[in-house]
């Protein structure tokens, strides 16, 4: 088969790869129905993650089960399924405690921007949908594999509750999905930090009540002005840069909760600032598998439509254009169809 491989910064190719097969008794093979480019893929695309050899790309996926290993009990061929960006066993103490993304047997997904993918730990990783979805539901279901699940974790970790003010730092797909989550959790005010008109409009459609275009200290100052000089009870950091992390900390009121779900690059925290801020910090790789059953139901009942973050759809063999468009900020998120 052909799949997506990155060879060097800005060098993404759709080229011949081995067709995946069952390697361990707990594996499943999926036929990919839809996949996409993630904002975190851009760190590698831009050369901020080392590329020491050609790397198969892609960790977001929905698909139909083609084959399962002899030890797989819950998942059956023919099911339409969604899985997390990490394969997890579902049985270790950390999975049972609600942190499957830190599973002691965690595995990376080996290249889902392809027509087929092998999923390790199929029983612990994959969740079937109630039936085979209509095509219109597939984009929203696809977001659950990462960005919507990550946005939900951002809101959950920041203790968004009814009547609270939530600040979302970041207007990428994760930040926009975090707005959906904050709305679902009952925040009465949702402030989104964004400079991009198209993303601002989508944030408002998802439930944002206010937009702040300033960044850094000016952005934090504006949020403080909007919250009686105190800061917000819940702040959701969805980028992963030093500026976004510092801005999020400054926007959080003493005693408030701040989540951080953007993959950090070049981020350091000042202990003295944190000491006097007196805020709760909670973040890391989102435990997407924990949230999948609930999020699938919300999408299935059309209570949320996170698939609107996809503003570019391409055949899978045009994946390189998807990377370029997201890198150049011509697209929020690129959806890839193996079959058009």
Q: Is there a contact between 224 and 148 (Cβ–Cβ < 8 Å)? A: no
- Measured from the Cβ of residue 77, the count of other Cβ atoms closer than 10 Å reads 12
The residues that bridge with 336 in the sheet, in sequence order, are 35, 314
Output the tens digit of pLDDT for each of the chain's 340 residues.
999 999 999 999 999 999 999 999 999 999 999 999 999 999 999 998 999 999 999 999 999 999 999 999 999 999 999 999 999 999 999 999 999 999 999 999 989 999 999 999 999 999 999 999 999 999 999 999 999 999 999 999 999 999 999 999 999 999 999 999 999 999 999 999 999 999 999 999 999 999 999 998 999 999 999 999 999 999 999 999 999 999 999 999 999 999 999 999 889 999 999 999 999 999 999 999 999 999 999 999 999 999 999 999 999 999 999 999 999 999 999 999 997 5
pLDDT at 109: 93
Task: Report d(CA 221, CA 193) in Å as an integer.
Answer: 12
Task: Report d(CA 78, CA 33) in Å as an integer.
Answer: 12
Task: Report d(CA 125, CA 74) in Å as an integer.
Answer: 11
pLDDT at 127: 98
pTM of model > 0.75: yes
């Amino acid at each position: 088969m052909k799949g997506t491989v990155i060879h060097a910064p800005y060098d993404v190719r759709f080229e011949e790869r081995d067709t995946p097969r069952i390697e361990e008794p707990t594996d499943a093979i999926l036929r990919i129905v839809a996949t996409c480019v993630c904002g975190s893929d851009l760190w590698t695309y831009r050369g901020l993650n080392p590329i020491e050899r050609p790397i198969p790309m892609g960790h977001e996926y929905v698909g139909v089960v083609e084959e399962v290993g002899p030890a797989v009990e819950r998942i059956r061929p023919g099911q339409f399924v969604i899985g997390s960006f990490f394969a997890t066993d579902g049985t270790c103490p950390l999975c049972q405690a609600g942190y499957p993304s830190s599973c002691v047997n965690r595995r990376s997904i080996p290249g889902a921007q392809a027509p087929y993918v092998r999923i390790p730990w199929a029983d612990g990783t994959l969740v079937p949908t109630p039936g085979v979805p209509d095509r219109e539901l597939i984009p929203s279901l696809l977001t659950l594999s990462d960005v919507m699940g990550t946005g939900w974790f951002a809101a959950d970790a920041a203790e968004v509750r009814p009547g609270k003010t939530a600040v979302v730092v970041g207007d990428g797909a994760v930040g926009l999905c975090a707005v959906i989550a904050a709305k679902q959790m009952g925040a009465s005010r949702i402030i989104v930090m964004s400079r991009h008109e198209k993303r601002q409009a989508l944030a408002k459609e998802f439930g944002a009540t206010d937009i702040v275009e300033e960044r850094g200290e000016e952005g934090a100052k504006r949020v403080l002005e909007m919250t009686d000089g105190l800061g917000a009870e819940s702040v959701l950091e969805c980028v992963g840069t030093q500026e976004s992390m510092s801005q999020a900390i400054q926007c959080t009121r003493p005693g408030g909760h701040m989540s951080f779900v953007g993959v950090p690059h070049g981020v350091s925290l000042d202990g003295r600032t944190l000491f006097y801020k007196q805020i709760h910090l909670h973040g890391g790789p989102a435990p997407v598998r924990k949230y999948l059953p609930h999020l699938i139901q919300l999408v299935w009942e059309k209570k949320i439509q996170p698939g609107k973050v996809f503003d570019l759809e391409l055949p899978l063999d045009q994946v390189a254009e998807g990377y370029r468009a997201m890198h150049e900020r011509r697209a929020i998120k690129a959806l890839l169809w193996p079959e058009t």
